[in-house]
Amino acid sequence: MDEEVTRDPHIELVLDEEGFRRLRSLWDEVLFKADHRYPFQSYEWCKAWWDAFGAGNQLRILVVFDGPLCLGICPLYLKSVGPFKQLAFLCPDRSDYLDFIARGGVRDIVIGQVLSYLASRADDWDLFVLNNICWSDKEREFFLAAAKKNGLEVASRAYTKSPYIHINMTWDEYLAATGKKKRVRKKERRILRGGDIEVVHFKGSENDKCGPAENLFEEAKSIERRTWKYIEGNPRLQGDCKTEQFFQDVFKSFMKRGWLDLWFALVGGTPRAYAFSFVFDNKVFAYNSGYDNSFSRYRLGSLLLINRIRDAFENKLEEYDFLRGEEEYKFEWTNNTRRINEYVLFNRRISSAVGARILVKMKWSLARSALLKNLRYKIKTFLSRRGMHSRE
């Protein structure tokens, strides 16, 4: 980093909405100088989630300073889980990656300061849940060592993987290198011959055809109501007013920043499939997609996926990230994966140890049980036979 660090950092705690709003410009400054940069760490994403889901919880944003220089931000909130007090990153349930936000070169200082601060205030919390964490072995080892140094315990588990395509060649070169050239082009031609099909792309705020973000969000919602996930009671974009408020705010703010990448497949001029990603830090984060179940024979999800990946290559982006989940269709495109882990930090108070055992270890044991594994396998097999993708 360019600024000189005196190595005498301190933490300021933000507890209210006004303090949260005042962090906006500082948040951008730190995030875009960080080693890890995800759209799920952006001010817009975190603020949209807090506005929608924050009621009944307490803000606990830790801002690490070295003199006047902000080194990092740890955007947490505190909630009650039964008798236990649990800390977590903002937006833990809708973010594919979460992490501390720290300027490049001072990440270890930021994490060390946060853990020291939490250890000194152990009466205020029982558990700190860090989910959807993507760290290198070195970063993981540092976190575990820093926790131990501060007298904190850590439980961890491997959660899932995130497949991704590293883009370092042209689209044609990639297809040739992976042996997909004929197959992909043949598939695309076959889909397009199946009817009056058109692909429409709305990219950030630079396309005159975009229209209001609210209209695009409503169009995606309308399609989702005809997807298999909605029919089976598991929609992504809707279902309650808080979820709809969150995604509508994300659509608006991300479009304004040029981060929203939205695609529609039309059959006979009517939208029948959608897909949206976030283009952030020169990478594509492929977040969600869906198609009208009555038009499944057209394979519109596959058509949009081909177009989205090709677009990333043609625009010379660095990466196409499929995000978390090990669905089979992702591995048709790449063998590269990132490991996603979950960590739970707890202190040595009795309530903390009991909370860790009840809320974490029992939950993880159930997740590993043979019964649930068998159930997940049956569901996965069923969906695979129907040609469904978890994000479609």
Q: Are 190 and 252 in contact (CB under 8 A)?
A: no
Q: Are 118 and 128 in contact (CB under 8 A)?
A: yes
The arithmetic mean of pLDDT across residues 264-285, rounded, is 95
Q: Are 344 and 66 in contact (CB under 8 A)?
A: no
For 56, counting Cβ atoms within 10 Å of its Cβ (0-12 exposed, 13-18 middle, 19+ buried), the class is: exposed
Which of the residue ranges 15-19, 190-194, 383-387 would you say has the lowest mean pLDDT? Answer: 383-387
Which of the residue ranges 35-49, 114-128, 215-229, 357-371 would you say has the lowest mean pLDDT? Answer: 357-371
Return the structure tokens found at 85: 């007090």
Report the percent of the chain where pLDDT is more than 90. Answer: 69
* Distance of alpha carbon 66 from alpha carbon 103, whole angstroms: 12
pLDDT band at 185 (very low <50, low <70, confident <90, very high): confident
- The residues with which 166 forms a beta bridge, in sequence order, are 319
Dump pLDDT digits (tens) for 307-364: 999 999 999 999 999 999 999 999 999 999 999 999 999 998 888 878 777 777 777 7
User: What 3-state class would DSSP assign to 37?
Assistant: coil
Is pLDDT of 47 > 90?
yes
Instruction: Give the total residue count for the chain.
Output: 392
* Distance of alpha carbon 80 from alpha carbon 103, whole angstroms: 31
Q: Judging by DSSP bridges, how do beta strands 84-89 and 127-133 pair with one another?
A: parallel
In which element (H, E) is residue 102 found?
Answer: strand 101-102
* Distance of alpha carbon 101 from alpha carbon 34, whole angstroms: 7
Residues of the chain with CATH 3.40.630.30: 10-161+340-380, 168-317
Question: Looking at the domain 168-317, which fold is it?
Answer: Aminopeptidase (3.40.630)
Q: Are 314 and 140 in contact (CB under 8 A)?
A: no
Q: What are phi and psi of 83, to 5 degrees?
A: -85, 0
Q: Which CATH superfamily is domain 10-161+340-380 in?
A: Gcn5-related N-acetyltransferase (GNAT) (3.40.630.30)
Is pLDDT of 29 > 80?
yes
Return the structure tokens found at 287: 């977040």
C-alpha separations of 154 from 12, 66, 292, 327, 361 in Å: 25, 27, 44, 29, 11
Return the structure tokens found at 286: 């492929």
* Distance of alpha carbon 199 from alpha carbon 186, whole angstroms: 17
Is pLDDT of 244 > 90?
yes
Q: Given this model, what pLDDT does residue 227 score?
A: 87
Q: Which residues does 248 contact at the CB level (< 8 Å), separation at least 6? A: 213, 214, 217
Q: Given this model, what pLDDT does residue 374 score?
A: 59
Is pLDDT of 26 > 90?
yes
DSSP letter assigned to residue 347? -
Is pLDDT of 366 > 70?
no
Mean pLDDT, the chain, whole residue set: 88
This prediction has a pTM of 0.89
